Copies of this chain bind each other. A is one copy, B any other.
Amino acid sequence: MISSDILERRERQFGPNAPLFYDRPLHMVRGSECWMWDADGNRYLDCYNNVPHVGHCHPHVVDALCKQASTLNIHTRYLNEVVLQYAERLTGLLPSPQLDRAMFVCTGTEANELALRIARHASGNRGVLVSDFSYHGNSSGFAELTTGLPHPEPMADFVRSLKIPDPYRWEGSEDEMVAHHLALVDDAIESLTEAGFGVATVIFDTIFSTEGLLDVPPAYVQGVAQRVRDAGGLFIADEVQPGFGRMGDAMWGFESTGVTPDLVTMGKPMGNGHPVGAVVTSSALADAFTGDALYFNTFGGNPVSAAAGNAVLDVIEREDLVHHSATVGQYLQERLKDVASKFNCAGDVRGRGLFAAVELVGDGKQPEARLAKAVINEMRNRQILISKIGPADNVLKIRPPLCLGTEEVDLLADALSSTIGTLAQ
């Protein structure tokens, strides 16, 4: 039971439009591993949150945070060992020796803002390509290039949005699908060039999460990168959702595309809840930019944030979470496919590692947004937390902390089977 008092206080403080999950909102008071508890002591299995990447309140991360917060918390205009260690470890996790420079910020939005500044500086161009249902930040500038959320700002004149290939809905061959969508990229680049903006960058979440976790062929991403680079632009991989081992097969989402980005942006999972973000790029790009711009980020790279970031990397290593994500993720896919095989409305199961999507549809693959909403609310009533994504809001989104185990996958899959069985009569 949520007291009406807390709902009223929330509305008074945050207004009627502040987003809140589920028809019956949750009042949370405690978290541990992949579990959260509400004010009445009910326990919920968290299959949604990627911020508590290595598990809610992981003691190793909390200890590192507390130890550093009680020792020193200051900015990077003094020398400090902790942030150096973190930068060295983080750049060491990138698969290319050219991605050798970390620039620390506080959020994914700040990371994408900085990456955009660097891309524009390097290219001398202003134009930006984004996917046609994407979100990379909540700033004024990024609102004007957001295609996946409502915002009052008109789209910026220097933006072109790209239709992303959706293999589930494409009727022809993969080659035809890729060629068709790359022709749209050519059009967009031509349009930016004709308008005098040129191409500064394309920015992709390389697993296309907001778009519905689409299973996009690597050849498409490679073709986009090639075309953007031919036009003088750079490739930004937004790793806020796929990064830090979630994909199981690799540390970064872009690694399965065959494209090495010019700029990699990071956020949510980095500090297990502590606000940490980063841009990783080459020394050449970073130094050229900082030679002309005095870039400074007050909280970026402070030793407490760096200690939290280091501790997250420790846990990923010690608990072998990338491999864990692969094996448990494999089981998750199997169980979800098994559930989907029983219901026509579960049209497609997608994903890799510990990020899965189930697309709910009617006849002729008609998106079933209402069913998706009912499912996540009924799952919440069964104390299992998931959400939904995609342009038609009909794709179940399963993106748990990486410590999720196979027993929890069973709880999730059994509840989902029973929920869909009840609702999809």
A residues with a Cβ closer than 8 A to B are 2, 6-7, 9-10, 13-21, 25-31, 36, 49, 51-52, 56-57, 59, 62, 65-66, 69-81, 84, 87-88, 91, 101-103, 106-110, 113-114, 116-117, 120-121, 138-141, 143, 149-153, 267-268, 272-275, 283, 286-287, 289-299, 302, 304-305
Contact check, B19 vs A304: say whether CB atoms are below 8 A apart.
Answer: no
Contact check, B25 vs A290: say whether CB atoms are below 8 A apart.
Answer: no
Q: How many copies does the complex hold?
A: 2
Contact check, B286 vs A15: say whether CB atoms are below 8 A apart.
Answer: yes
Contact check, B299 vs A106: say whether CB atoms are below 8 A apart.
Answer: yes
Contact check, A14 vs B87: say whether CB atoms are below 8 A apart.
Answer: yes
Q: A28-B79, A84-B6 are in contact. Are A110 and B108 (CB under 8 A)?
A: no
Q: A287-B15, A290-B18 are in contact. Are A69 and B62 (CB under 8 A)?
A: yes
Which of B66, B80, B81 is in CB contact (< 8 Å) with A65? B66
Which of B72, B107, B110, B287 is in CB contact (< 8 Å) with A28? B72
Contact check, B21 vs A78: say whether CB atoms are below 8 A apart.
Answer: yes
Other 16 A-B pairs with CB < 8 A, given A25-B78, A51-B298, A141-B141 = A7-B79, A13-B91, A13-B102, A16-B287, A27-B79, A30-B71, A51-B74, A62-B70, A74-B273, A106-B299, A107-B110, A109-B297, A113-B138, A121-B152, A138-B297, A267-B298
Contact check, B101 vs A15: say whether CB atoms are below 8 A apart.
Answer: yes
A153 — which chain B residues lie within 8 A by C-beta?
Answer: 117, 120, 293
A78 — which chain B residues lie within 8 A by C-beta?
Answer: 20-21, 25-28, 36
| CB-defined A-B contacts under 8 Å, sample of 27 | A15-B287, A15-B290, A19-B76, A19-B77, A19-B294, A26-B79, A28-B72, A28-B79, A28-B80, A30-B71, A30-B72, A36-B72, A51-B299, A52-B73, A56-B74, A59-B70, A62-B69, A62-B70, A65-B66, A66-B69, A69-B274, A106-B275, A107-B298, A113-B139, A117-B143, A140-B141, A152-B292
Contact check, B294 vs A84: say whether CB atoms are below 8 A apart.
Answer: no
Contact check, A25 vs B120: say whether CB atoms are below 8 A apart.
Answer: no
